[in-house]
Structure 1
């Protein structure tokens, strides 16, 4: 399970350190793709395979299903760690998430998320302000 928030800088070549705590759980390689809310999603291979199985069930006859899978898969890439624990992010992924120098790597249960630090701060502040309201709207969930 991934959890926690870690701040790292992306270099001019698109390399970003993934926290050692996450690297231990991820394994040798994992898949990075476009996520929701303007961040990137990173999945260990076992989770990626489960997600692929779910996406394969989407009906090809539905326009939204085709659009979603195209967008989701088109930027997906398998990444490996270099000796310093960094991954190399592609230009389309950097552009999508609007990654500047300062990034935040967040653990979210079965995946990691990579955020531009400024965007993460905005999201985090808004979520904090609305946390109780959000939790009340969730169904079938008890703390």
Structure 2
């Protein structure tokens, strides 16, 4: 399992060859020059592409496939959607990534259109998210408005964090 912590919001531009320069802050967290290094991209329900180191991707797939017996049509549809909208990400020695055009189009990016090349890379702890600038703005605006309630629910009703130890 990866010990990387991908953090921050980073503006990026898709070049005419479909490459995006990984910001130093994200690049430093991954050993992209390692011979067996690889990233996988998959469409996520929030409108982004989720980029995971290959080892994390493989673990996530095992968890996904082992989550339940795949009998319901909804489960099969979900798995098919993820599998058909996923693929490897090419990385070069300069720290640029190349995601398939078909995947970029799903999130509103297009290397052939100058007005659709502005991208945002966001750290999401164990993964990196790739957004169109417009997609990130919409998601971020909505997410910030509900952050307090969402955090409270995530923390089990206590967004203030764990209670102090009375013996300290």
Would the TM-score normalized by the shorter structure come out above 0.5?
A: yes
Counterpart residue number, 1:14: 18
Distance 1:9 1:67, change over 3 A: same
User: Please, which runs of 5 or more residues in structure 1 have no aligned partner?
Assistant: none
CA drift of 1:25 comes to: 2.7
1:19-63 Cα offsets, whole Å, 9 max, x none, are 233223333321111112111000112211210111221423221
| Alignment TM-score, normalising by the size of structure 2 | 0.76
Structure 1 residue 139: Cα displacement: 4.8
The correspondence for 2:81, drawn from 64, 71, 90, is 71
Show structure 2 runs of 5+ residues with no match.
32-36, 110-115, 162-168
Give secondary structure in 2 for the equivalent of 1:25.
coil
User: Is the CA contact (8 Å cut-off) linking 2:119 and 2:132 kept in structure 1?
Assistant: yes
2-structure distance, mates of 1:26, 1:70: 29
Give the drift of 1:70.
1.1
- Normalized per residue, which structure has more strand? 1
Matched, 1:86 2:96: yes
Give the equivalent residue in structure 2 for 1:129: 145
* SS state at 1:64 partner: helix
Q: Which has the larger radius of gyration?
A: 2
Greater relative CO, 1 or 2 (CA 8 Å, sep 6+): 1
Q: Deviations over 1:50-100 (max 9, x none)?
A: 101112214232212211111111122122311321111112211111122
Q: In the alignment, does 2:30 pair up with 1:26?
A: yes
8 A Cα contact 1:59 1:65, kept in partner: no
Report how many aligned residue pairs link the two structures: 143
- 1:26 partner SS: coil
- CA-atom RMSD, angstroms? 1.8
Distance 1:136 1:20 in 2: 32
Q: Does 1:52 align with 2:61?
A: yes
